[in-house]
């Protein structure tokens, strides 16, 4: 399988998930490597989805989502680009990687995709923290075709229910918490996770187990979370105004990472963005565990509205 020139396979094997072949790969940046997944199109890559994950920035959680999108489209390719330091497959020398660095990492990914596919449309797709990073990329790269923001955490994160609950103690001492991960080597972690997360698919448990077995990755996740709390403040209204014709938002139910911010954002956009691009759904914030296919369907509908894929048949 041909890879874009900025990617190299992380192994010689191509993985098959949900009947869609993808390559587990490493993106080559100037100073570092980043874990990535490449889902080639069935036809020519007329549209590229650049997917930015939440936190943890482990792209393995999103294989079912991205597989379903590619499986049900012809000329759409996907590259899922992990956060620096969150995947053991592409280690980073420092346990602390700032949010600014992650934004720069995403900007470089956009530029690599644009250089490789100069005539293709590029759509930014983000989940949670990834939605805010997508907005920062669009601010500096106005050629973005569209943005799909899934469970968007784009304003006042520290004031949300989960932000208030977790931002006080755990995030202040990422080194201490990540050090405790060394103790997990002493327990049957796979068995424990399977018992605790009985409703999780085995693939998702494996992704979580891999993360928990690497203290440096845990430290990177917690450090990034602390940066999120201090950086994601008031909604960037001028930026949102500039994206009214391109932005798509999907909200879930009882989302503790968004809280009352959802109503504030929707009130600001009401009447200026069509309702079909402002969706209120019943999916949880961590939809990537068990609700990927439903969210993929919404993304495919958005692609169809942009006339980038055929309309999806509804039952």
Measuring CA to CA, how many Å separate 63 from each of 89, 128, 224? 16, 16, 23
What confidence tens digit (pLDDT) does each residue in 240-298 have? 999 999 999 999 999 999 999 999 999 999 999 999 999 999 999 999 999 999 999 99
| pLDDT value of position 19 | 53
Mean of all residue pLDDT scores within the chain: 88
Q: Is the pTM of this model over 0.85?
A: yes
Is residue 96 scored above 90 in pLDDT? no
pLDDT digits (tens, 9 = 90+) for 226-244: 899 999 999 999 999 999 9
The two tokens of residue 241 are: 């105004």
What pLDDT digit, counting tens, does each position of 165-185 carry? 876 555 555 555 555 665 555
Query: pLDDT tens for residues 39-94?
Result: 999 888 999 999 999 999 999 999 999 999 999 998 999 999 999 988 777 666 66
* Mean of pLDDT values over 123-130: 98
Reported as a single tens digit per residue, the pLDDT across 13-50 is 455 554 558 999 999 988 888 999 999 998 889 999 99
Write the pLDDT tens digit of every residue in 143-163: 999 999 999 999 999 999 999
Confidence (pLDDT) at 30: 80
pLDDT-derived band at 315, boundaries 50, 70, 90: very low
* pLDDT for position 140: 97
Does the pLDDT at position 306 exceed 80?
yes
For 40-54, 115-129, 191-205, which range has the lowest pLDDT when averaged over its residues?
191-205
Per-residue confidence band for 97, with pLDDT thresholds at 50, 70 and 90: confident
**pLDDT value for 311:** 59
């Amino acid at each position: 399988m041909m890879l874009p020139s900025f990617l190299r396979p992380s192994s010689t094997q191509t993985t098959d998930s949900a009947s869609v072949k993808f390559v587990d790969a490493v993106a080559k940046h100037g100073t570092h490597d980043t874990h990535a997944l490449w889902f080639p199109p069935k036809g020519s890559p007329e549209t590229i989805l650049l997917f930015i994950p939440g936190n943890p920035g482990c792209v393995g959680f999103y294989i079912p989502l991205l597989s379903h999108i590619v499986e049900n489209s012809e000329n759409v390719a996907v590259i899922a680009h992990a956060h620096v330091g969150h995947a053991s497959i592409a280690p980073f020398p420092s346990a602390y990687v700032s949010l600014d660095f992650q934004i720069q990492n995403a900007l470089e990914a956009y530029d690599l995709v644009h250089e490789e596919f100069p005539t293709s449309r590029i759509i930014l797709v983000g989940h949670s923290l990834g939605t805010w990073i997508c907005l920062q990329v669009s601010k500096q790269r106005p050629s973005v075709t569209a943005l799909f923001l899934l469970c968007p955490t784009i304003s006042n994160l520290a004031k949300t229910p989960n932000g208030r609950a977790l931002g006080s103690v755990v995030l202040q001492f990422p080194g201490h918490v990540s050090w405790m991960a060394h103790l997990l080597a002493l327990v049957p972690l796979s068995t424990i996770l399977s018992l605790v997360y009985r409703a999780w698919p085995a693939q998702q448990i494996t992704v979580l187990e891999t993360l928990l077995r690497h203290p440096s990755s845990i430290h990177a996740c917690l450090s990034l979370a602390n940066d999120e709390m201090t950086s994601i403040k008031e909604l960037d209204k001028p930026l949102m105004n500039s994206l009214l014709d391109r932005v798509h938002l999907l909200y879930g139910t009882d989302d503790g990472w968004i809280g009352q911010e959802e109503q504030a954002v929707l009130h600001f956009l009401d009447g200026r963005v069509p309702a079909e691009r402002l969706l209120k759904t019943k999916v949880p914030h961590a939809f990537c565990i068990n609700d990927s296919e439903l969210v993929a369907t919404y993304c495919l509908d958005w692609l169809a509205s942009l006339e980038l894929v055929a309309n999806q048949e509804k039952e």
